[in-house]
Amino acid sequence: EAGVTQFPSHSVIEKGQTVTLRCDPISGHDNLYWYRRVMGKEIKFLLHFVKESKQDESGMPNNRFLAERTGGTYSTLKVQPAELEDSGVYFCASSGLAGGPGNEQFFGPGTRLTVL
């Protein structure tokens, strides 16, 4: 079974440009999450989808960030326009409705975003 995949693995852009990150969750997982880790800090929750609906977007930093999950399969996270402080590693995770005993989330390898 394929795990969570993310594309691209690394993106370098200039301040003011737009970048779109993609996440493909594990097939059949209705829950999809985005997290971000800024260098040396903790991994922070950004938002949570159940199928195509946003359940919780309390962690989204500002309106320069737009997440979508059309059709309830893959998700995109767009940053427009990017700022220097957006640099970090963006993780996507997914989980099934039932989940394991702890409802563990399965993570992708992350996209490292560098804004110059």
List interacting residues with another protein (CB under 8 A): 3, 9, 31, 33, 35, 37, 40-45, 48, 55-56, 58-59, 89, 91, 93, 95, 100-110
Report the largest interatomic distance among the alpha carbons of the chain, rounded to a whole angstrom: 43
Q: Which is nearer to another protein, 13 or 89 (CB)?
A: 89
- What are the residues facing 95 on neighbouring strands? 31
Q: Which is nearer to another protein, 16 or 109 (CB)?
A: 109
Q: Which is nearer to another protein, 17 or 44 (CB)?
A: 44
Interatomic CA distance for residues 1 and 27, integer angstroms: 8
82 within 8 A of 45, measured Cβ to Cβ:
no
Return the sign of the alpha-carbon dihedral for residues 91, 8, 4, 52: positive
CB of 16 to another protein, least distance (A): 27
Q: Which is nearer to another protein, 19 or 110 (CB)?
A: 110
CB of 48 to another protein, least distance (A): 5
CB of 40 to another protein, least distance (A): 7
Interatomic CA distance for residues 45 and 77, integer angstroms: 13
Interatomic CA distance for residues 87 and 13, integer angstroms: 10
CB of 81 to another protein, least distance (A): 26
